[in-house]
Amino acid sequence: MKLAGALLIILAATVFGWEFSSRLSRRTRQIRELKLAFEALETEMVFGMTPLPLACSKVGKQAGPLLGRFFEKVADRLCIEEASASEIWQKTLDSWKGTSDLSAAEINILQQFGQTLGQQDMENQRKQIRLAISYFNQEEEQAAESQKKYESMYKSLGFLGGALIVLIML
C-alpha cells in the first residue's frame, strides 16, 4: 500500500512538472499565432478595407481555436453592443485572458493595442498593428529562450520533487 501511495505521489508530481513544461511551449506557440493573427488583421483592415467586425470575424476563422474564439467574440460584440471598439476589445480580453498561457507582458500589449482600436485613421491603425507585431516578436524570442532554458528543468523537478516528498514521508 505504501508503494502504491509513493508511486501515486511521484506520478502526480511528474504530471505537474510536465504541465508546467508544456505551458512554456504553448505560450511560445500562442505568441506566434498572435503575430499571424495581427498580420491577417492588418491585411484585412488596410489592404482589404474590411470593416472592423468583419475583419475580426475573418481573423477568428483563420486563427487557431483559442485565439479564434477571442477574435470571433470581439466581432460578435462589435455587431451587437453599443460600446466603442476599444471598450469591447478590453471586455473581451478580460474574459479571455484566463484561458490562455500568455504572460502579463503579452496581455499588456493586447491591452495597449485595444486602446487605439477604431480610434485612428487607417495609416495610424496600421502603425499600431506593426508596433504590436514587433513587440510580439520580442516576446516570442524571450518565450523561446525561457522554453529552452526551463522546459527540461520543470520536467526533472516534477519527478525529483515527487521523489523527495516520498523520501520525506518515509
Query: Which tens digit of pLDDT belongs to each residue from 28-40?
Result: 999 999 999 999 9
pLDDT at 52: 84
Q: What is d(CA 168, CA 170) in angstroms, rounded to the nearest whole number? A: 5
23 to 28, 33, 102, 109: CA distances (angstroms):
9, 15, 9, 19
Q: How large is the average pLDDT for residues 84-92? A: 89
**Of 133, 152, 145, which is closest to residue 27 (Cα–Cα)?**
145
Contacts of 58 (CB under 8 A, 6+ apart): 40, 44, 50
* pTM for the full predicted model: 0.83
pLDDT at 147: 86
Pair 167, 62: CB distance under 8 Å: no
Residue spans of the domains in the chain: they are 2-169
pLDDT tier for residue 101 given thresholds of 50, 70 and 90: confident
pLDDT at 149: 87
pLDDT at 139: 92
Would you report the helix, strand and coil content of the chain in percent, each value rounded to 5?
90, 0, 10
